Structure 1
Amino acid sequence: MNQTALLHIVERLERLVTRLPEKIRRPVLRELTPLKELFLEQRPPRFLFVGSSKMPMPQIINALFASGAQEQKNVSLMPVHRWIDWNISGHGTISILDARDASDSASAQVEEDLERQPADIIFVFDDEDSDFEKSGSASLMLRLQHPFSGTLGDAKVIGVAFGSENRTKQLEERLKTQPAIRDRLLQVIQFTEMPSAEGQGFLSFLAEELPNPAKIEMIRISRDREAQHHVAQMLIKSTTAICTAIGAQPIPLADLPILTSLQVVMVSGIMYISGRERSLRAATEFITALGANVGAGMLLREGARAILKFFPGWGNVVCGMVAGAGTYAIGRAASAFFIGGVSLKDARRKYLADRKKASHKPHWLDGSMRASKQIE
């Protein structure tokens, strides 16, 4: 599923939301905002490299982000001092602007690229044989921090020291004396070939610090199941809230296409979070497989939900609860299957259990249910 298809669905949804009463419109738009940031405005995280290290870029990427990265690009053919996209082991993409050896003349080009695409995190490298304060990177950082330049934006800083732990402490102390860096500094790490667990922890830390549009790619790269489950649950709750509100509209049959689209987009989003590619077709097949043994029952329930809309008031609220319960159960089953790694049989069992539980106790979104009653 490409961004154009997702944009089309979101535009349809936003048009539908404008028809909702004011009291329910605002909560729905609030739920829609993080979804747009995470998926519609999604982009690779952008990392600026500055400092005194002369270590080849592939070796740094190999140590910080993933093994095997050095075979992915012919470094001699890459543009210098420009944003370059690196695919990390097929799980996601990061953008890097390497300005470590940028001279004064090259700094203008770096600044131009940063004005066009600001960095999310700045890595300040310091090897054992150089002095950061005397390097071109230090003056570059100061120029970027000029009051009339918004080039750094909200970028944060991570120091990377080569050598001993004492060298790492010295770098941290020096960075804290730099006005352009001090308030942005997240941590200073010692450059090593990180063990698998430690490396994954560092990637998870990066994902937490990145802005929403850049989080998804880093979560995919880190393969941190806890982070994947967290984002998936946020996606499930937001989609459930929206479906609950739309399902409670007093318009019989009119909302079925948009509800189905939202549920398919939710599942494809969970697939993407897990490290797979987005696919509306695969998401649709998964939803169909969940109801393979209860297809007739699902059809009857959806038909009953539409019929209830002909009874104003309480019928609208019940419809919203049914739509929300179904969406919540589908999302939970998708998360268990694509992220948790359970079998399709177990995912189907979870779907049925969660749908039954949610329909009796809509704990997934009490606030949205209260808001949906305003539609009566």
Structure 2
Amino acid sequence: MHDDEQKEYLEEPLRLFRKKMIPKLPSNIQKRVIGEVERLEELFVDSRAPRFAIIGRRGAGKSTLVNAMFQAPVAEVGAVTAETERGGWHTYKNASQQAIMEVLDTRGFGEGDETRFNQTEEEVWQEALASRYPDAILFLVKAKEVDARVTEDIEQLKKLRKIIKKKHDYLPPVIGIVTQVDELDPVYDTDPPFEKEKIANIEHASEHMKRMLKKHLPEVAGILPVCAYIAFKDGEMVYDRRWKIDELIDFLLEQLPGSTWMQWARITQAKTIQSRIAKTIGKSASAITGGVGAQPIPLADLPVITGIQMSMIAGVAYVSGRKLDRKSMAEFLGAIGANVGTAFAFRQLARSLSKITFPVAGHAISGTLAATATWGLCKAAILYFIEKRPVHEAKEAYKNQSEPPTN
């Protein structure tokens, strides 16, 4: 199934909800629900690959870092294609030839390369940034070179941000990354977790880079030291000496717009990121179903609530990297004892009937039940798709429902 087809499972329920349900809601509920719908639309409808400018001198480890983040040799097997012969943006693709990340070409950065393609570096940047800009800038410096001409590099970095600000009225956050920390003394301590002496030297290098960046660029988002060494054979990982890469991936999520979160979760395959985004989806879906469930419209809201819940489950499956289709959805619902035709629909029917039996209190009760049922489905989906836990654990999470968190 193509990515566009998978996205239909995510987007269609939201479109129907906007068209058919929101106009029926009271204005006070509309405002709250629309905010949650917009959050899901940013994640689902506006979803795109993240864009970075990865800056660093030759040998700073740009390609190695990309491979380490994606746990695949995407930067070494010819999967990078330039959109123009003059450089500019490059698209990294996975084995299925799907775009996973866009990177602004900054070759020659800090190396005095002013003759490339008969253009200055600034002219190349001006051309590349005409149509789009990076979401964030990764500024790479080798651990052994944090005091080598860094000021000059920072000035070029500031120049790049100035161009972006002028063209797009946006200042991308800068993340300083100290690379190749395994090469610091003592030389015999090469494999993480490192010993105290190595850690002390890593911290010293990081603090020095932090002082340099903060002096010239006070708003720098953060400084992170990493070891990104990873080796592949025939496309498979055969050696892994990565250190602090998970922390970097998690930190970058904070700097990226919500429209890139789904793709970031899929391409990095970081479970902490996937679970975090899945919970964000679940909270919004629970707020929506709870708001709708509390309204005096018996039975008419069933397809709408079910649609939002299905979209939520699809979203959790999507961020896990699972191929999304009707079969996988049916497998999940069947595994936890909830399916649209029987137990699942019965729960929703019982919730709606409570409005008829208790015409006042029933509204609030049914709204709470809708929210808790949705959150139970979210927890079960996280266990099933992301954590890959046994079916009985997902089923238990669905049965033992609790109210969704409020923050």
Contact 1:92-1:221 at 8 Å conserved across structures? no
Alpha-carbon deviation of 1:296? 4.8
Which amino acid is 2:173 matched to? K
CA distance in 1 between counterparts of 2:243 and 2:151 reads 33
TM-score (norm 1): 0.79
Distance in 1, Cα, partners of 2:219 & 2:92: 29
Count of equivalent residues = 357
- Residue 313 of structure 1, aligned match among 360, 370, 392: 360
Is 1:52–1:132's contact at 8 Å kept on the other side of the alignment?
no
- The CA deviation string for residues 97-133 of structure 1, in whole angstroms up to 9 with x for no partner, is 1213264535334234334222122123446597455
Q: Hey, what's the Cα distance between the residues in 1 that align with 2:272 and 2:337?
A: 27
Instruction: Show the 5 A alignment for 1:220-239.
Output: 220-239=266-285
- C-alpha distance in structure 2 between counterparts of 1:272 and 1:147, whole Å: 32
The one-letter code sitting in structure 1 at the alignment partner of 2:15 is: E
* Distance of aligned partners of 1:353 and 1:63 in 2 relative to their CA distance in 1, 3 Å threshold: closer
Q: CA deviation at 1:85?
A: 2.3
Of 376, 393, 402, the residue aligned with 1:346 is: 393
Whether 2:16 is the aligned partner of 1:12: answer yes
Post-superposition CA distance 1:67-89 (Å, at most 9, x none) = 42244425587745322222367
Give the 3 Å change call, closer, same or farther, for CA 297–147 of structure 1 in structure 2.
closer
Instruction: Report which of the two has the higher share of helix.
Output: 1
In the alignment, structure 1 segments of 5+ residues that lack a partner are 368-376
Partner of 1:371 in structure 2? none
Shift in CA distance, 274/108, structure 1 to aligned 2, threshold 3 Å: same
Alignment match, 2:218: 182
Q: Percent identity?
A: 25
Aligned 8 A contact 2:381 2:394 in 1:
yes
Partner of 1:373: none
**One-letter amino acid matched to 1:320:** G
Residues 275 and 167 of structure 1: is their aligned pair in 2 closer, same or farther, counting only changes over 3 Å? same
Match of 1:27 in 2: 32
1:300-321 alpha-carbon deviations (Å, 9 max, x no partner):
4433334344453233333323
1:153 to 142, 150, 170: 170
Residues 81 and 173 of structure 1: is their aligned pair in 2 closer, same or farther, counting only changes over 3 Å? farther
**Residues 1:54 and 1:236: Cα distance change in structure 2 (over 3 Å):** same
1:202 Cα shift? 1.9
Q: 2:174 corresponds to which letter in structure 1?
A: V
The correspondence for 2:313, drawn from 255, 260, 267, is: 267
The verdict on how the C-alpha distance between 1:108 and 1:8 changes in structure 2, with shifts beyond 3 A counting, is farther
- Cα distance in 2 for partners of 1:147, 1:227 equals 28
- C-alpha displacement at 1:197, in angstroms? 4.8
TM-score (norm 2): 0.74
Q: 1:319-334 alignment to 2 at 5 Å?
A: 319-334=366-381
Give ranges in structure 2 of 5+ residues lacking alignment. 185-201, 231-240
Query: Structure 2 vs 1, CA of residues 206 and 92 (structure 1 numbering), >3 Å: closer, same or farther?
Result: farther
Checking the alignment, whether the CA contact within 8 Å between 2:332 and 2:384 is kept in structure 1 is no
- The worse-fitting range, judged by mean Cα deviation, of 193-202 and 322-331 is 193-202
Q: 1:148 to 1:260 in 2, by over 3 A?
A: closer
Residues 154 and 285 of structure 1: is their aligned pair in 2 closer, same or farther, counting only changes over 3 Å? farther
Q: Is the contact made by 2:54 and 2:140 (CA closer than 8 Å) also made in structure 1?
A: yes
Q: 3-state DSSP class of the match of 1:101?
A: coil
- Counterpart CA distance in 1 for 2:377 and 2:135 is 34
Q: In structure 2, do the counterparts of structure 1 residues 81 and 124 end up closer, same or farther at CA, with 3 Å as the change threshold?
A: farther
Cα distance in 1 for residues equivalent to 2:260 and 2:340:
39
Summarize the alignment of residues 1-376 of structure 1 with structure 2, pairs less than 5 Å apart.
Answer: 1-3=5-7, 6-15=10-19, 16-53=21-58, 58-63=63-68, 65-73=70-78, 79=84, 80-87=86-93, 93-101=100-108, 103=114, 105-126=120-141, 131=149, 134=152, 138-139=155-156, 141-142=158-159, 144-145=161-162, 149-151=166-168, 153-160=170-177, 171-178=209-216, 181-187=217-223, 189=225, 193=229, 195-279=241-325, 281-291=327-337, 296-311=342-357, 312-354=359-401, 358=402, 363-364=403-404
Question: Could you tell me how far apart the structure 1 residues matched to 2:361 and 2:16 are?
Answer: 27
Any conservation in 2 of the 1:124–1:157 contact (CA below 8 Å)?
yes
